[in-house]
Structure 1
Amino acid sequence: MLSYTGGLVIFAALLHATWNAILHGNRDRFVSMTWMSIAIATISAAVVLVTPFPPAAAWPYIVASGLVHIVYNVSLIYAYRRGDLAEAYPIARGSSPVLVAFGAALFAGERIGAVHGLGIAMVSGGIVALALQGRHVSRANALAALLTGATIAVYTVIDGVGVRLSGGDALAYTAWMFLFYWLMPLIFIAVRGPGALWSSLRAAPMDVGTSLCGGAVSIAAYGIVIWAMQLGAMGVVSALRETSVVFAVLIGRVFLRERVSANRLIACFVIAAGAICIGT
C-alpha cells in the first residue's frame, strides 16, 4: 500500500495543496469556488456518460458525500476569509486524520494501534501549536478551520465505505458524487443573483481561468484518494494525503508571499509527521 499507491496519494496531496492555493489566492473565493465547482461538475458529467452506473448499495454514500462536499466548500470559503493559507489549511487538513482514524474505527472496524495513537497525539499537538502562536491566530479562525476539518473527515469516511460498495469502479463513484457540485452555482446565484457569476468573467477573467484549472486539479486529487481507499485503510490514505499541509505552507510562502514563522513551519512538519505515523 505504501509504495506505488502511497506515492500517488502523496502526489494527490501536492495537487490538493495546489488547488487550495489557487482558491486562497483569488480575490473573491466564493466566485472562485463556484467556477471550480462548475469545472468539476462538467468533467464529472462527461465521465458518467462512459462509466457504468454505480450499484444500488453505493448510492446512499454517493448522495451523502456529495451533500457533505457542498458543506465543505462553503466552510472552506469561510475559513479562508478568516485566516491565511498557512494558518487555515494546516488546521483544517491536520485535524481530519484524527477524526478519520476514529470514524474508520467506529464504522469500518479499522484498528488504532500504538503508532497510530502517537500520530494522533502529534497531529493534535501540531494543531494546538498552530492555533496558539501569533496574535492574529484567533479562536474564531481556529474554529472555522476545525469545522472544515470535520467535514473533510465526514466525507472521507463516507467515501471510504462507499467506494468499497461501488463494484470496484472508483471512477464512476467519484464522477457521480461530484455531480452534486452543480449545487454550488445554484447557491451562488441564490446569494448574489444570476448576473454576478457572469460579470466575474469580465471583471476577473484570469481568476476565473485559474479557478477552472483548480477544479480540474481538485477532481484529479480527490479521485486518486477515492481510488486508493479501495486498496488501503481509510486512516492510512487520509494520513498520507494530509502531508499536503507541508506543500500548502511552501506554496503560501513562495507564491502568495505569506509570512511563515519558524514555529509555524515546525508545527506543520509535526502535523505531517503525525499524519505519517497514522498511516503506518
Structure 2
Amino acid sequence: MSAFTFFAVLAAALLHVCWNALIKNSVSKLTSMLIMTLVQGGFGAVIALTQPFPEAAVWFPWLLASGAFHSAYKLFLVYAYEQGDLSRVYPIARGGAPMLVLVISVSVLTDPLGIKEFLGVLALGTGILLMARGVFANGESRRLVPFALGSALMTAGYSIVDGLGARISGNAIMYVAWLFILDAVFFTPICLALRGRAVLRAEPSEWALGSVAAAASYGAYAIVVWAMTQAPIALVTALRETSILFAVLIGWLVMGDRMDRSKGFAAALIVLGVVLTRI
C-alpha cells in the first residue's frame, strides 16, 4: 500500500466517524439516516450523468447486491444507535467486519497479504473486539449487540462486493455513484414500511444535518472503494477500522461517553495494527 493510499484511507475513517456522530446525535435517527441516503442518492445521480452507464456484468450481482447490503447496514446501525453510545456501538458495528473480510479474502479471493500485514489485521480486529466487550462489563443495553453485529455482517458483505465490483467496473467513480442511487431506491421503501410517512417529516435543521452527513459518507466511501482498487481488500477494510480511534475520542471529548482502561488498551492495539500494516 502506497503512502498516499494509506493516508487517504485514514481520512476516510475520520469522515466515517463524523457522519455516524451526526446520526447518533439526531432527534430521529431513522429520519436522519433516510435524509442522508436520499441526498447521497442525489449526489450519485448527478455524478452518474457524467459517467458511462455500467455494463450488465457490473449490475448483476455487484451493484444490486451492494445496494441491498448498504440498506441493511444502515437499518441495523440505526437500531443500534437507538440503544447505545457512539463509543460502544461503533466498535461493535465495525469490529466483526475485518475478520470476516480477512477470512473470505484469504480463503476465496487471491489478494496477497504479507506476514506483517496479516498480524496488523489481527491486531486491529482484536483491539476493536476488546472495545466492544464493555457492553457486558458496564451494564449497558445488551439489545444493541445483535443490531451492531448485524451491521458488522453487512459491512463485511458490502466490503467484499464493492471491492470486486469496482475492480470489474474499472471505474470507481461510476460504481460508487450507482451504488448510492440503488441504496436510496432500496432504503426508502424500507423506512416507509417501518415508520410510515411520518419518517419523511423533518425540520430544515434535520435536512441540513442529513446533507452534511451525506457529503461525509459519500466522500468516505468513495475513497475506500478507490483504495480497494489499489491495495488488498482485507488490508483496506482493516485500516479503515482505525476510525475506532476517532470514534472513541469524539465520543469521549465531544459527546461525553465514558472512557476507561479497557478502551485505552483496545485503542493501543489498534494503533499497533496501523503500524504493522504500514511498515
Q: TM-score w.r.t. structure 2 length?
A: 0.90
Q: How does 1:1-280 map to 2 (within 5 A)?
A: 1-60=1-60, 61-133=62-134, 134-137=137-140, 139-166=142-169, 168-182=170-184, 183-194=186-197, 196-201=198-203, 205-274=204-273, 277=276
Q: Shift in Å at residue 198 of structure 1?
A: 4.2
Percent pairwise identity: 36
Matches of 1:207 and 1:262 in 2, distance apart?
36
Compute the RMSD of aligned alpha carbons: 2.0
2:37/2:214 contact within 8 Å kept: yes
Describe the superposition over 1:228-252 as per-residue Cα deviations: whole angstroms up to 9, x where unpaired.
1111110121122111110111111
Q: Shift in Å at residue 107 of structure 1?
A: 3.2
Matches of 2:54 and 2:275 in 1, distance apart?
32
Matches of 1:16 and 1:199 in 2, distance apart?
25
Matches of 1:45 and 1:83 in 2, distance apart?
34
One-letter amino acid of the structure 2 residue matched with residue 243 of structure 1:
T
> What stretches of structure 2 of length at least 5 have no aligned partner?
none
One-letter amino acid of the structure 1 residue matched with residue 156 of structure 2:
A
**Helix, strand or coil: the match of 2:10?**
helix
Describe the superposition over 1:128-166 as per-residue Cα deviations: whole angstroms up to 9, x where unpaired.
433333322455433332221111111001111111100
Describe the superposition over 1:98-118 as per-residue Cα deviations: whole angstroms up to 9, x where unpaired.
111112223322245543443
2:120/2:273 contact within 8 Å kept: yes
Structure-2 change in CA distance of 1:47 and 1:124 (3 Å):
closer
1:13/1:242 contact within 8 Å kept: yes
2:91/2:132 contact within 8 Å kept: no
**Helix, strand or coil: the match of 2:229?**
coil
Structure-2 change in CA distance of 1:6 and 1:172 (3 Å):
same
Structure-2 change in CA distance of 1:50 and 1:132 (3 Å):
closer
Which is further off, 92-101 or 171-180? Answer: 92-101
One-letter amino acid of the structure 2 residue matched with residue 258 of structure 1:
D
1:239/1:276 contact within 8 Å kept: no
Structure-2 change in CA distance of 1:45 and 1:67 (3 Å):
same
Describe the superposition over 1:41-100 as per-residue Cα deviations: whole angstroms up to 9, x where unpaired.
011111111101123222120111111111101011112122210011112223211111
Matches of 1:165 and 1:184 in 2, distance apart?
25
1:64/1:158 contact within 8 Å kept: yes
**Helix, strand or coil: the match of 2:145?**
helix
Matches of 2:275 and 2:17 in 1, distance apart?
17
Structure-2 change in CA distance of 1:30 and 1:276 (3 Å):
farther
**Helix, strand or coil: the match of 2:168?**
coil
Structure-2 change in CA distance of 1:43 and 1:164 (3 Å):
same
1:92/1:147 contact within 8 Å kept: yes
2:227/2:236 contact within 8 Å kept: yes
One-letter amino acid of the structure 2 residue matched with residue 193 of structure 1:
G
One-letter amino acid of the structure 2 residue matched with residue 63 of structure 1:
L
One-letter amino acid of the structure 2 residue matched with residue 170 of structure 1:
A
One-letter amino acid of the structure 2 residue matched with residue 235 of structure 1:
A
Describe the superposition over 1:158-199 as per-residue Cα deviations: whole angstroms up to 9, x where unpaired.
111111100x211001111111122322222222222x1443
Structure-2 change in CA distance of 1:145 and 1:269 (3 Å):
farther
Matches of 1:152 and 1:192 in 2, distance apart?
24
Q: Shift in Å at residue 272 of structure 1?
A: 4.6
